[in-house]
């Protein structure tokens, strides 16, 4: 592997690094060497993750070598002293032992990213470097790592976490209990780097919990924040993450349901049912604990009732001290909050057990209250002045879910809840409320990280610009900052600001113009003309969902939608999680079918944040407007006020208006980054809003985008843009090499990437690796029989030309029509007979013929004759006589399955399939149960057979056996 000397450190890189990669690695090494912080931007496709890992690990390896050399010198100095057994020799041995235990004093690296998929990608990059032999531990959530079947059946991360804690506490999780005895197993501590999937596989093989095994490895490697290098990748939303992490919300209905849950537990205790549920096991809490907690919550409910909301629509804002006063009235203080949080955790575990035997909530309200107390009282009393400056309390009126007539009774029956009703009583102050405790200072959270004495913090992403406002908001000292250009040439990117549409109507998506039907029509005409030119995938991003829906409705009414669909099929970003994966797969499939496609999505949505539209999947992106935050949103108003109140010349904070503009531009930068994904990629970026030419907006775009727009960007007329765009793609297709086929994971493919082809299309059986000869033979025969029974078409002409066969002959060939007659035939078309001599058709000609050959050997068994019913001379389409076969394409498979089953059945199928992806044998059993329940009927059994190719190899034998028993 090539070695490059960067900032005095030898760095092994898989290839000769590009200039942008060298610049990036140099900044990383300077941060680590000097113990300073860095904010580094490098566009997507520049090898940012690979550069980050190689440079940081190269520096660590160099430091390790330096410390080891120092230990060798100390050892030599001891030997040259007076006597090898002098006390100095013992000290040297002690120093070496301590050095090895503490990694020779070299800092460790904590690499964090936004999603588990990005962590997996980073570990995959690490595996192909020269540093793959360095020790590493991957940490993930229970949702990704847990293999306990009962825990994984729980819905929601909160329920899974609480159920896991209960199992561990009660010592009923055998996987967790084996961790201690098998933590030193070579498979777990082996030299190979493990990502999340690898860790799960090892856990399943050793029957230990991957979640607790990874934490045991972290403890064994003494991973602590002190003197550690913290790398935050994909940190473009770091300010919002810091603010949201320190913010919390509590509702009147939450308090009411918590009181109701406590009342229910007390009733269970009083009736003695708790003894039946838990036997003689002692409780972790008493009736007195429950009584005291209920009294405190009743006082909290009264305190919330007493809060006066002046503006019932927009709410009322209070200083941060109001939250501490509110909780203080209910006797929640710094002195007792730790014991109360402990009690709430015990109640959650109790309800998890009780909910399995009776109809009761699982303690979600206790978790909400625990989160509130944890966040509010996490701030030490000695920093309250900063808390008061950084936080605000905003109180809103909680909307009721039922009619006003039922609300009064609900209030009388049980606070704001009654019989499960979120209600608001009549009266000036006694209405249900939402108490928001909002943090507006992201530097408050970053300061807590720096106080742990970390060595360096590196924030990096493809879209961090502009850097100065980010550094000012986070309030951390930054010695190294970088805005890398893109790795692609100028000829690979086409960037233009489109200020007018084909009809010369101004394109501006501001509040005053977005309802203008002429603007909406002109925007649609612009997208239509661009769709005619752009090959393959076209992405269109809207400022918000309401704007997207408004345009879709108008274009469908005017016919523009149909015009665009004639050029490329249109896909809309779904808001539900269940439909998202299937919609994305259908979009990718349309690209693979060479039709091209248009995907319409929203800035800040899932599509704009992290999906890969490399090469053909995204050849152009259209930004239809600037996605400003809602101007009248209370949180936006308070954020702007906070900036104006705390802005000084020294801290260089943005003004409220500057922050408002920047928030929109950062969302645009993130959406633009979906297109150019690697060095050989190319695409067009079209900014369809005349406001993009304003200097204030241009300066906030990423540096590599500004380079394409020039010093004084102007809106270009639509006519020349069409000609330039057509010429750009013509030149790019002629000069750029064809991209490698990039297979995109789909919901079915990610379950198991198998090479087995669909049964109906297999001319030759593929043997599955790892199977023995007996299974190979049986599997091959089973597929032959399956193909023999797959009758696509049959006519009497085929019968007439088919040869007879011996009863004891060889196995039937798939193309032998006589063997097909032995299988189940739903219908035979006698109307397609053609007389070879006269050429007349439509006449039925019947030949009396024996089913067996005259030379057949004697047999005691008699072949049963089949009877056929003659039907009228009705033309039958060939497809109607074909035995149905499941679609080969994954997207088509999902569409057909969705059309055959109910919505509830399809939802159950999708959930079981996702669990099967990274699940255990139990998840396969759960999937099989659903498949047999939904697809066992004869008319849909072909879909059940079609599911075989999406299963893991180790499960196919049992699948064949269970399907064969139907």
pLDDT digits (tens, 9 = 90+) for 634-652: 999 999 999 998 888 777 7
pTM for this entry: 0.68
Separation in Å, CA 7 to CA 24, 28, 654 = 11, 10, 34
Beta-carbon contacts of residue 656 (< 8 Å; ≥ 6 apart): 639, 640, 641, 643, 644
Q: Is 582 part of a structural domain of the chain?
A: yes
pLDDT digits (tens, 9 = 90+) for 42-51: 987 788 889 9
Total residues belonging to the chain: 966
Q: Which residues are annotated as a binding site for [4Fe-4S] cluster?
A: 146, 164, 173, 209
What integer pLDDT is reported at residue 691 of this predicted model? 92
Domain boundary among 408, 441, 474: 441
Closest by CA to 390, choosing from 325, 446, 332, is: 446
What average pLDDT does range 156-161 have in this prediction?
76
What integer pLDDT is reported at residue 522 of this predicted model? 95
Percent of the chain with pLDDT strictly greater than 90: 27
What average pLDDT does range 241-265 have in this prediction?
90
**Confidence band (pLDDT; 50, 70, 90) for 362?**
low
What is the distance between the alpha carbons of residues 148 and 728, in angstroms, rounded to a whole number?
54
Q: Which neighbouring-strand residues pair with 686?
A: 496, 622
What integer pLDDT is reported at residue 537 of this predicted model? 93
Q: Which of 83-92, 159-168, 889-898 has the lowest mean pLDDT?
A: 83-92
**Between residues 333 and 710, which one has the greater pLDDT?**
333
Is 70 exceeded by the pLDDT of residue 528?
Answer: yes
Q: Which of 540-554, 598-612, 869-883, 920-934 has the lowest mean pLDDT?
A: 869-883
What integer pLDDT is reported at residue 415 of this predicted model? 45
Q: Is 925 part of a structural domain of the chain?
A: yes
* Helix/strand/coil for 382: helix
What integer pLDDT is reported at residue 501 of this predicted model? 93
What integer pLDDT is reported at residue 406 of this predicted model? 37
What integer pLDDT is reported at residue 602 of this predicted model? 94
**Confidence band (pLDDT; 50, 70, 90) for 20?**
very high
What integer pLDDT is reported at residue 553 of this predicted model? 93
Is 90 exceeded by the pLDDT of residue 882?
Answer: no
Same domain, 436 and 511: no
What is the distance between the alpha carbons of residues 131 and 151, in angstroms, rounded to a whole number?
36
pLDDT digits (tens, 9 = 90+) for 422-477: 333 334 457 889 999 999 999 887 888 888 888 999 999 888 877 888 888 888 89
Q: Which residues are annotated as a binding site for ATP?
A: 42-49
Is 70 exceeded by the pLDDT of residue 779?
Answer: no
Contact between 572 and 552 (Cβ < 8 Å) = yes
If one counts the domains in the chain, the total is 3
CB atoms within 10 A of CB 317: 18
Same domain, 724 and 609: yes
Same domain, 568 and 679: yes
Domain boundary among 700, 735, 770: 735
The chain-wide mean pLDDT, for the chain, equals 77
Q: Which neighbouring-strand residues pair with 88?
A: none
**Confidence band (pLDDT; 50, 70, 90) for 95?**
low
What average pLDDT does range 189-193 have in this prediction?
70
Q: Is 195 part of a structural domain of the chain?
A: no
Same domain, 537 and 664: yes
What average pLDDT does range 606-611 have in this prediction?
76
What integer pLDDT is reported at residue 801 of this predicted model? 44
Q: Is 34 part of a structural domain of the chain?
A: no
CA 826 to chain centre: 45
What integer pLDDT is reported at residue 395 of this predicted model? 94
Same domain, 528 and 435: no
pLDDT digits (tens, 9 = 90+) for 558-573: 999 999 999 999 999 9
What integer pLDDT is reported at residue 39 of this predicted model? 94
Show the tokens assigned to 305: 């009732």
Q: Is 507 part of a structural domain of the chain?
A: yes
**Between residues 152 and 782, which one has the greater pLDDT?**
152
- What DSSP designation does 910 have? H
Task: Give the position of tokens 């990383």.
Answer: 28
Contact between 219 and 445 (Cβ < 8 Å) = no
What is the distance between the alpha carbons of residues 321 and 391, in angstroms, rounded to a whole number?
9
What is the distance between the alpha carbons of residues 410 and 407, in angstroms, rounded to a whole number?
5
What integer pLDDT is reported at residue 739 of this predicted model? 59
**Between residues 783 and 40, which one has the greater pLDDT?**
40
Show the tokens assigned to 277: 């549920």
What integer pLDDT is reported at residue 819 of this predicted model? 40
CATH code, domain carrying 539: 3.40.50.300
Show the tokens assigned to 794: 């049959």
Separation in Å, CA 812 to CA 787, 802, 815, 820, 865 = 10, 13, 8, 9, 19
pLDDT digits (tens, 9 = 90+) for 466-520: 788 888 888 889 999 998 888 888 889 999 999 999 999 999 999 889 899 999 9
Which 3-state string (H, E, C) describes 127-146? HCCCCCCCCCCCCCCHHHHC
Say if residue 513 is exposed, middle or buried (CB neighbours under 10 Å; 0-12, 13-18, 19+): middle
What integer pLDDT is reported at residue 98 of this predicted model? 55
What integer pLDDT is reported at residue 728 of this predicted model? 93
Contact between 813 and 798 (Cβ < 8 Å) = no
Element (H, E) at 361: none
Contact between 571 and 586 (Cβ < 8 Å) = yes
Q: Is 14 part of a structural domain of the chain?
A: no
Q: Which ranges in 864-952 belong to alpha helices (H)?
A: 890-900, 903-917, 921-935, 941-946
Q: Is 936 part of a structural domain of the chain?
A: yes
Q: Which of 86-90, 394-398, 905-909 has the lowest mean pLDDT?
A: 86-90
* Phi, psi for residue 318 in degrees, rounded to 5: -130, 160
CB atoms within 10 A of CB 898: 15
Q: Would you give the end-to-end CA distance of the chain in angstroms?
A: 56
**Confidence band (pLDDT; 50, 70, 90) for 325?**
very high
- What DSSP designation does 207 have? T
Is 70 exceeded by the pLDDT of residue 814?
Answer: no
Is 50 exceeded by the pLDDT of residue 896?
Answer: yes
Domain region containing 565: 493-735
Contact between 306 and 429 (Cβ < 8 Å) = yes
CB atoms within 10 A of CB 772: 8
Closest by CA to 654, choosing from 480, 520, 472, is: 472
Same domain, 515 and 379: no
Is 50 exceeded by the pLDDT of residue 302?
Answer: yes
**Confidence band (pLDDT; 50, 70, 90) for 965?**
confident
* Helix/strand/coil for 768: coil
Q: Is 226 part of a structural domain of the chain?
A: no
* Phi, psi for residue 705 in degrees, rounded to 5: -75, -40
What integer pLDDT is reported at residue 480 of this predicted model? 93
Q: Which ranges in 170-272 belong to alpha helices (H)?
A: 174-177, 179-182, 186-189, 196-206, 210-220, 238-245, 252-271
Q: Which of 187-201, 324-338, 660-674 has the lowest mean pLDDT?
A: 187-201
What average pLDDT does range 676-686 have in this prediction?
88
**Confidence band (pLDDT; 50, 70, 90) for 619?**
very high
Q: Which residues are annotated as a binding site?
A: 42-49, 146, 164, 173, 209
What integer pLDDT is reported at residue 937 of this predicted model? 82
Same domain, 437 and 520: no
Q: Cα-atom radius of gyration of the chain, to the nearest Å? A: 34
Same domain, 364 and 265: yes
Same domain, 663 and 555: yes
Separation in Å, CA 743 to CA 174, 304, 612, 740, 946 = 39, 55, 11, 9, 21
**Confidence band (pLDDT; 50, 70, 90) for 727?**
very high
What integer pLDDT is reported at residue 708 of this predicted model? 85
Omega before 466 within 30 of 0, i.e. cis: yes
Is 50 exceeded by the pLDDT of residue 836?
Answer: no
Domain boundary among 705, 735, 765: 735
Show the tokens assigned to 108: 């460790």
Which 3-state string (H, E, C) describes 92-103? HHHHHHHHHHCH
pLDDT digits (tens, 9 = 90+) for 100-118: 555 556 888 888 887 776 7
Same domain, 706 and 583: yes
CA 124 to chain centre: 17
What average pLDDT does range 398-412 have in this prediction?
49
Q: Is the dihedral of CA 952, 957, 963, 966 positive or negative?
A: negative
Same domain, 436 and 370: yes
What average pLDDT does range 730-749 have in this prediction?
62
Is 70 exceeded by the pLDDT of residue 701?
Answer: yes
Same domain, 436 and 505: no
């Amino acid at each position: 592997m090539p070695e490059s000397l960067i900032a005095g450190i030898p760095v092994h890189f898989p290839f000769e690094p590009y200039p942008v990669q060298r610049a990036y690695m140099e900044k990383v090494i300077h941060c680590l060497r000097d113990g300073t912080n860095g904010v580094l931007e490098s566009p997507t496709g520049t090898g940012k993750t690979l550069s980050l890992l190689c440079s940081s690990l190269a520096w660590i390896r160099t430091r390790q070598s330096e410390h080891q050399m120092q230990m060798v010198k100390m050892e030599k100095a001891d030997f040259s002293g007076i006597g090898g057994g002098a006390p100095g020799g013992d000290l040297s041995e002690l120093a070496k032992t301590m050095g090895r235990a503490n990694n020779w004093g070299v800092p460790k690296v904590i690499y964090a990213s936004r999603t588990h998929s990005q962590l997996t990608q980073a570990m995959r990059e690490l595996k192909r470097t020269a540093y793959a032999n360095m020790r590493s531990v991957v940490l993930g959530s229970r949702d990704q790592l847990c293999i306990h079947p009962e825990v994984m059946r729980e819905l929601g991360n909160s329920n899974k976490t609480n159920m896991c804690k209960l199992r561990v506490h009660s010592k009923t999780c055998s996987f967790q209990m084996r961790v201690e005895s098998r933590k030193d197993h070579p498979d777990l501590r082996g030299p190979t780097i493990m990502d999340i999937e690898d860790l799960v596989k090892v856990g399943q093989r050793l029957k230990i919990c991957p979640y607790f095994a990874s934490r045991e490895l972290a403890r064994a490697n003494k991973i602590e924040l002190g003197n550690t290098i913290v790398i935050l990748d994909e940190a473009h939303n770091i300010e919002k993450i810091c603010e949201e992490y320190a913010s919390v919300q509590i509702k009147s209905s939450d308090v009411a349901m918590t009181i109701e849950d406590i009342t229910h537990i007390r009733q269970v205790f009083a009736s003695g049912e708790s003894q039946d549920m838990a036997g003689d096991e002692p409780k972790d809490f008493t009736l007195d604990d429950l009584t005291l907690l209920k009294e405190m919550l009743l006082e909290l409910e009264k305190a919330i009732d007493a809060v006066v909301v002046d503006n019932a629509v927009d709410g009322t804002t209070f200083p941060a001290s109001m939250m501490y006063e509110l909780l203080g009235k209910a006797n929640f203080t710094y002195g007792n909050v730790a014991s109360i949080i402990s009690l709430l955790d015990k109640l959650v575990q109790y309800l998890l057990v009780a909910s399995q035997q009776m109809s009761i909530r699982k303690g979600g309200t206790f978790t909400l209250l625990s989160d509130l107390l944890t966040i509010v009282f996490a701030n030490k009393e000695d920093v309250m002045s900063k808390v008061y400056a950084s936080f605000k309390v905003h109180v809103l009126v909680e909307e009721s879910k039922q009619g006003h007539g039922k609300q009064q009774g609900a209030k009388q029956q049980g606070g704001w809840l009654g019989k499960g009703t979120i209600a608001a009583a009549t009266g000036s102050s006694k209405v249900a409320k939402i108490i928001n405790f909002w943090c507006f200072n992201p530097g408050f959270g970053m300061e807590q990280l720096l106080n742990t004495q970390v060595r360096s913090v590196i924030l990096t992403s493809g879209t961090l610009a502009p850097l100065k406002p980010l550094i000012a908001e986070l309030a951390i000292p930054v010695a190294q900052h970088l805005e890398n250009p893109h790795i692609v040439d100028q000829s690979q990117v086409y960037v233009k600001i489109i200020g007018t549409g084909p009809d010369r109507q101004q394109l501006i998506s501001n509040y005053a113009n977005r309802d203008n039907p002429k603007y909406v029509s002109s925007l649609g005409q612009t997208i239509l003309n661009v769709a005619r030119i752009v090959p393959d995938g076209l992405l269109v991003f809207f400022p918000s969902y309401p704007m997207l829906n408004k345009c879709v409705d108008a274009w469908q009414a005017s016919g523009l939608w149909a015009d665009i669909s004639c050029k490329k099929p249109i896909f809309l970003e779904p808001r539900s999680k269940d439909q998202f994966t299937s919609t994305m797969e259908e979009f990718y499939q349309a690209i693979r079918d060479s039709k091209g496609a248009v995907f319409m999505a929203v800035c800040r949505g899932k599509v704009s944040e992290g999906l890969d539209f490399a090469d053909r999947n995204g050849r152009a992106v259209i930004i239809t407007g600037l996605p400003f935050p809602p101007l009248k949103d209370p949180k936006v108003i308070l954020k702007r006020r906070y900036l104006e109140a705390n802005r000084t010349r020294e801290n260089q904070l943005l003004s409220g208006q500057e922050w408002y503009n920047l928030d929109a531009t950062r969302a645009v930068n993130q959406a633009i980054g979906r297109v150019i994904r690697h060095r050989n990629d190319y695409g067009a970026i079209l900014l369809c809003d005349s406001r993009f030419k304003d200097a204030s907006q241009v300066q906030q775009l990423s540096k590599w985008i500004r380079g394409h727009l020039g010093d004084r960007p102007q809106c270009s007329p639509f006519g020349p843009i069409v000609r330039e765009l057509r010429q750009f793609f013509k030149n790019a297709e002629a000069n750029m090499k064809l991209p490698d086929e990039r297979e995109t994971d789909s919901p079915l493919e990610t379950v198991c990437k198998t090479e087995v082809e669909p049964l109906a299309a297999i001319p030759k059986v593929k043997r599955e690796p790892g199977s023995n000869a007996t299974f190979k033979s049986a599997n091959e025969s089973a597929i032959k029989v399956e193909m023999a029974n797959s009758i696509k078409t049959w006519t009497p002409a085929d019968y007439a030309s088919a040869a007879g066969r011996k009863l004891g002959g060889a196995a039937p060939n798939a193309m032998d029509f006589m063997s097909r007659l032995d299988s189940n035939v739903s219908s035979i078309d006698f109307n397609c007979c053609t007389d070879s001599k006269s050429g007349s058709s439509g006449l039925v000609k019947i030949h009396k013929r024996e089913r067996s050959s005259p030379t057949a050997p004697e047999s005691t068994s008699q072949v049963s004759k089949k009877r056929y019913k003659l039907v009228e001379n009705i033309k039958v389409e060939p497809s109607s006589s074909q035995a149905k076969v499941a679609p080969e394409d994954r997207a088509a498979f999902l569409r057909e399955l969705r059309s055959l089953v109910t919505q509830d059945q399809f939802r159950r199928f999708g959930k079981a399939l996702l669990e099967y992806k990274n699940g255990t044998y139990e998840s396969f059993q759960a999937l099989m149960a659903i498949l047999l329940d939904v697809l066992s009927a004869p008319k849909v059994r072909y879909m059940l057979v079609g599911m075989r190719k999406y299963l893991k190899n180790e499960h196919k034998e049992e699948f064949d056996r269970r399907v064969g028993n139907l």
